[in-house]
Amino acid sequence: MCGLAIDIVGVRRTFPNGVRALDGIDLQISPGEFLAIVGPSGCGKSTLLRLIAKLDPPQDGSITLTPGDSHKLAFVFQDPQLLPWRNVLRNVAIPLELMHVPKSQRLDMARNAIEQVGLADAADRYPNQLSGGMRMRVSLARAMVTEPRLLLMDEPFAALDEITRQRLDEQLRELWLSRRMTVVFVTHSIAEAVFLSQRAVVVSRRPGRIILDRKIELPEHRVAKLRASAEFAGQTKDLFDALLGESQSPSAGSAA
């Protein structure tokens, strides 16, 4: 699978209430790249994801996906947003149902996606029978079932405990290595950004601007113990310094 390329040029976004969320974003993302976006609350990270997904329009600038194909884009939110009256299998099959894929085919594809996230034995369970981590894995399987070429993720693991979050980071990284779709992952966690991505950008306080764009120099296959290494700490330093500089800036933006 080859991911989509993303070309963002001069993007600005101001909300109807006059709040300026983004101010002149320029960003090029290569096909199959895993990019993490970090920044303080309210800096426009989630807004940028919505613009990439064409859920909102920018006031200025352009966002081009190459090749353009809306069926090859998937979005994972912080809330798993599962339908409580559907079991895991039928929740994962929803995107295929909306695409009018025949029932037998979509259920087979859903079972395969569920197996890929390690939940094959939970296909018949309902959301209220699952832990928080399992619900997020269902959400990830639902996103992956259409075999997207672009996966947008908005702080999907933020509400989970640290151990569960790290395990899901490892699982997501392995899924990306096997599929090589383009991933844009928004997080508040520097450690998560460094562990997951090939490249990380830091966004300033609102109105958001890119203040750091850094390649992550770590092995392709990453395991839990990497987080405790000096090599990992070294990779986090520039991101931490950029965020620390923002936190100490006298012109604080309000959080949203």
CATH code (residue 51) = 3.40.50.300
| DSSP calls for 216-246 | --S-SS--GGGGGSHHHHHHHHHHHHHHHHH
Q: Which residues contact 165 (CB under 8 A, 6 or more apart)?
A: 157, 158, 192
Provide the domain count of the chain: 2
Whether residues 23 and 120 fall in one domain:
no
Residue range 166-173: mean pLDDT, rounded: 92
Residue 96 pLDDT greater than 90, yes or no:
yes
Contact 158, 188 (CB under 8 A): yes
Q: pLDDT tens digit string along 57-85?
A: 888 999 999 876 555 889 998 889 999 99
Between 238 and 195, the more confident residue is 195
User: Among 122, 148, 174, which residue terminates a domain?
Assistant: 148
- Please say which residue of 91, 121, 148 terminates a domain: 148
pTM: 0.90
Q: Write out the residue range of the structural domain in which residue 21 sits.
A: 1-69+150-250
Task: Say if 178 falls within a structural domain.
Answer: yes
pLDDT at 249: 59
Whole-number pLDDT of residue 255 = 38
User: Do 64 and 157 share a domain, yes or no?
Assistant: yes
Q: What beta strand segments (E) does the chain contain?
A: 5-14, 20-29, 34-38, 60-66, 73-76, 150-154, 182-186, 199-203, 210-215
Task: Please check whether residue 92 lies inside any domain of the structure.
Answer: yes
Question: CA nearest 39: which of 204, 239, 238?
Answer: 204
Q: Does the pLDDT of residue 15 top 50, yes or no?
A: yes
Average pLDDT over residues 182-189: 95
Residue 245 and residue 188 share a domain: yes
Per-residue pLDDT tens over the stretch 32-56: 999 999 988 888 899 999 999 988 8
Distance CA(213)–CA(238), nearest Å, equals 10
Establish if 139 belongs to a structural domain. Answer: yes
Residues 240 and 141 in one domain: no
Confidence of residue 252 (pLDDT cuts 50, 70, 90): very low
Three-state secondary structure call for residue 18: coil
pLDDT at 1: 59
Residue 246 sits in the same domain as residue 161: yes
- Cα-based distances in Å from 251 to 178, 220, 244: 43, 38, 13
Residues 116, 230, single domain; the answer is no
Give domain status of residue 76, yes or no: no
Give, in degrees to the nearest 5, the angle at Cα 2 between 189 and 53.
55
Closest by CA position to 244, among listed 190, 186, 184, 185: 190
Is the residue at 179 inside a domain?
yes
Establish if 255 belongs to a structural domain. no
Question: In this predicted structure, what is the pLDDT of residue 3?
Answer: 87
- Least confident range of 66-75, 89-98, 146-155, 223-232: 66-75
Radius of gyration of the CA atoms of the chain, in A: 18
